Chains A and B, each alone.
Chain A
Amino acid sequence: MPRTILDPKILRSLVPALSFAVLLGAIFYVQPRTMSYFGLNLMLNLALPIAFATIAQMFILTVNDLDLSIGSFVSLVACITATWLNEAPLLGVVALLGCIAAYAALGALIHLRNLPSIVVTLGMSFVWSGCAILLLPSPGGSAPDWLSGLVKFRMPFIPFSILASLILGLIVHFALMRSATGAVLRGSGGNPQAVERAGWSLLKTKVTMYALAGFFGVMSGMILVGTTTSADANIALRYTLFSIAGVILGGGEFTGGRVSPIGAILGALTLALVGSLLSFLRISPEWQIGAQGIILIVVLALRSLVNRLEERQA
């Protein structure tokens, strides 16, 4: 069967890219000055850590779990980065590695005891927040110089944030969607029993996915601090909801291991840009959250339209 651009399967995978393009176009139209190196950099810098957190969430969703703690986890990482990593780098590195190990351990716990991830991560969100408060009771700290230097690095022609998102997307895409190991990891979300029967360890896949989520969560927190140069215990709480919405906007499904890394990043960027567009439209900040919700709904409506198109063709 020849595939055309109107093939719903292709159209569906294009929805995240299209909605991102439309949004970017609208921003350029409303505020042409953003169509520049600096403009883009400014807008997307804040989106980059969200993209990383979304990728972290995506790994969890791939194995049919949900992480309600990623926001507070990223906040904790931000606090560690702005304090220990700056003042006592060795301690900081150990702490961050410990964070990743804790995520891996959570994966093992959830698998071994067959626990609902929603509840476990809900509980862990309290733990991460508590640790962050202990570490940094009031906003402050400062980013290590090398980190803010890296995030603010002025690439020629392409803003760092765009390049970083691109590289992130490609790396995760090849690792998860194109590699032989990635097929096993995704398969354990699609039909765990089958994967186990084929001789793979579900414990290993779960731990791998959680460790990856922890790793990208750590990256997210570090980049966040690199951008903002300071941290507080609540700095990234909204990432939890953003990351879930981002994966879904990007074409990911809640169950069955159907995800798309590139889509997820586009979804995250789209969500982050919504805020920029609204402020350019001079919409009163009271309505900003609401407008964000409306745009989320519009994008989802678009996707469901495409899905129905597909059904009619089938």
Chain B
Amino acid sequence: MSPSASSDRPIVELNDVAKSFGAVKALDGVDFSVRPGECVGVVGHNGAGKSTLMQVLAGTLAHDRGEVRLNGDVVAASDHSVARAHDAGIRCVFQELSLCPNLTVAENTRLRHGSIRGFGWRRQAARLIATKLDEIFPDHGISAGAVVGDLSIGRRQMVEIAANFSATESEPRLVILDEPTSSLDQQVASQLLAYVKRFVEAGGSVILISHILGDIFGTCDRIAVMRDGLIVEERPADKFDRHSLVASMGHVTDEDTPAPQSQASESQRRGEPIVSARPPRQTDDQRLELHPGEIVGLAGLAGHGQTALLRLIHNAARHRSRYASVNGKIAFVAGDRQADGIFPLWTIGQNVTVRSLSALSRLGLLEKGREREMEDRWRETLKIRTPDMGDNILTLSGGNQQKALFARALASDAEIIAMDDPMRGVDVGTKREVYERIRQEAENGRAFLWYTTEFDELVNCNHVYVFRNGLIAADIERDQLSEQKVLHASFEGEAA
């Protein structure tokens, strides 16, 4: 079983593997393999089949057709299981976390590792996870006895990653990281990527799925591009560049689109703001201000108080608040679709119109015709890809679900749109369409509060507030904006 014995034999090998969900071909004949000591990047749109591919690799889904080999042995679809993949050394960090929030970090570790049992299992589990956390994320500050539900989402992700990299009865030989950095701030993310390189150098293998192309180029030896359930391109990483990679994903891109010069300039910042707010812990008189027609960005490392302030402002529109005054109606675009956005039992249309119920009703009764009209108008406007707005919302791919959430906010009567990092895990094409729409809406006088974790998105904003430790650390105007400035404001003071 030692890695050296099977030196160059693929840990996992797929030949012509297909998987369908009803009429949807999620995988349509994929050939793919991973050898020891390599890091493979997998990129593609939402709905390209990445997640399905990973689930087949991890044993959570059985393939319909084709051949799966683990360490050279063919595994029948009926035999393929998580346990089987686990025995072969395959571990998977899923996009949605798979920790139990009611258990401690150590107890969660035990859950993964059947071999930890008997007397002293707690200490054993705690040592296992703490060692790995120290190795990957120095200064993580996570106690093994902490209940996972009490940890921030970033820290949960760190625990999840560390648990998957730690060895039990079988060594981890291939670790699948599906958007691992999405809830980590940059410093922790770079710690992770550095560890991935060390792991691969030591003979381990990693599959990295990320929409941050910089991470892929900086870490991977080989890149596989997926589109429509197929691997359409697979080359060593240095045979790709940013442009060719994005191009092969199916969307034509102009390298580094020049920042759109918005008409809403600083001149509009005069006059009464429609939102004026400060984080509860802000001690100086720094405030966030938003004027009609403006796009204001909330930047900084993830989880530094941006979402909290957006929610505070959202609530302040209805109830009085000490910290914020809001002179207008507000709509919220959720970033975490499952937790904050989607109504899973409803149609796409109902998901769109829910923010506008009173506007679509007379005497408390909804008017069907007007509701249908709104649904269809916004399907056209945002190009939501569905034959019928009466289909269930879950029939849409992630990116299109996000469009429905945008439509919900944009279709409403709100003058203010608060966006909570809504582009998380959304494909490039959708992003571009939505950016364009946001700019148009701003020109028509709507105001946007846009929390984003990606610097590229800040160039769409007229004004950027950088958050650090729950406070507004910097206030940057559009023509002063640079990545350096944002980074500086995000990290300043923490270097010591």
**A and B co-occur in one complex:** yes
Binding site for B on A (CB under 8 A): 178, 180-181, 183-184, 186-187, 189-191, 193-195, 197-200, 256-258
Query: Which of B101, B112, B114 sits near A256, CB closer than 8 Å?
Result: B101
Which of B100, B101, B112, B122: most chain A CB closer than 10 A? B100
Query: CA separation between A197 and B112, bound complex, in Å?
Result: 9
CB distance from A12 to the nearest CB of B (A): 12
Query: CA separation between A199 and B92, bound complex, in Å?
Result: 13
With A183-B103, A187-B111 as contacts: A197 and B98 at CB distance below 8 Å? yes
Q: Which residues of A contact B103 (CB under 8 A)?
A: 183, 186-187, 190, 257
CB distance from B111 to the nearest CB of A (A): 5
Query: CA separation between A181 and B110, bound complex, in Å?
Result: 9
CB distance from A173 to the nearest CB of B (A): 14
Binding site for A on B (CB under 8 A): 60, 81-83, 86, 94, 97-103, 107-108, 110-112, 114, 116-118, 121-122, 149
Q: Which residues of A contact B98 (CB under 8 A)?
A: 191, 193-194, 197-198
Query: CA separation between A186 and B121, bound complex, in Å?
Result: 16
With A197-B82, A199-B82 as contacts: A180 and B110 at CB distance below 8 Å? yes
Query: Which of B94, B107, B118, B149 sits near A183, CB closer than 8 Å?
Result: B107
Assess the B99–A199 pair: CB atoms within 8 A.
no
**Which A-chain residue is minimally distant from B143 (CB atoms)?**
A1
CB distance from A191 to the nearest CB of B (A): 4
Q: Which residues of A contact B117 (CB under 8 A)?
A: 180-181
Assess the B118–A190 pair: CB atoms within 8 A.
no
Question: Which 8 pairs from chain A and chain B are nearest by CB?
Answer: A190-B100, A190-B102, A194-B98, A187-B100, A183-B107, A191-B100, A180-B117, A257-B102
Q: Which residues of B contact A191 (CB under 8 A)?
A: 98-101
Q: Which residues of B contact A195 (CB under 8 A)?
A: 100, 111
Q: Which residues of B contact A198 (CB under 8 A)?
A: 82, 98, 111-112
**Which B-chain residue is minimally distant from A178 (CB atoms)?**
B122
Query: Which of A178, A180, A184, A189 sits near B102, CB closer than 8 Å?
Result: A189
Assess the B83–A183 pair: CB atoms within 8 A.
no
Query: Which of A178, A180, A181, A194 sits near B100, CB closer than 8 Å?
Result: A194
Assess the A183–B111 pair: CB atoms within 8 A.
yes
Assess the A258–B111 pair: CB atoms within 8 A.
no
Q: Which residues of A contact B112 (CB under 8 A)?
A: 198
With A186-B102, A190-B102 as contacts: A197 and B110 at CB distance below 8 Å? no
**Which B-chain residue is minimally distant from A184 (CB atoms)?**
B111
CB distance from A214 to the nearest CB of B (A): 23
Which of A186, A193, A199, A256: most chain B CB closer than 10 A? A199
Query: CA separation between A13 and B81, bound complex, in Å?
Result: 40
With A180-B121, A187-B107 as contacts: A199 and B114 at CB distance below 8 Å? yes
Q: Given A186-B103, A190-B101, A198-B112, list of 8 further CB < 8 A pairs?
A: A180-B116, A180-B117, A181-B117, A183-B111, A187-B100, A187-B107, A190-B149, A195-B100
Q: List 27 A-B contacts (CB under 8 A).
A: A180-B116, A180-B117, A180-B118, A181-B117, A183-B103, A183-B110, A184-B111, A187-B100, A187-B102, A187-B103, A190-B102, A190-B103, A191-B98, A191-B99, A194-B97, A194-B111, A197-B82, A198-B82, A198-B98, A198-B111, A199-B114, A200-B111, A256-B101, A256-B102, A256-B149, A257-B102, A258-B102
**Which A-chain residue is minimally distant from B103 (CB atoms)?**
A187
**Which A-chain residue is minimally distant from B102 (CB atoms)?**
A190
**Which A-chain residue is minimally distant from B107 (CB atoms)?**
A183
Q: Which residues of B contact A257 (CB under 8 A)?
A: 100, 102-103
**Which A-chain residue is minimally distant from B81 (CB atoms)?**
A199
Query: CA separation between A258 and B122, bound complex, in Å?
Result: 18
**Which B-chain residue is minimally distant from A188 (CB atoms)?**
B100
Q: Which residues of B contact A186 (CB under 8 A)?
A: 100, 102-103, 107
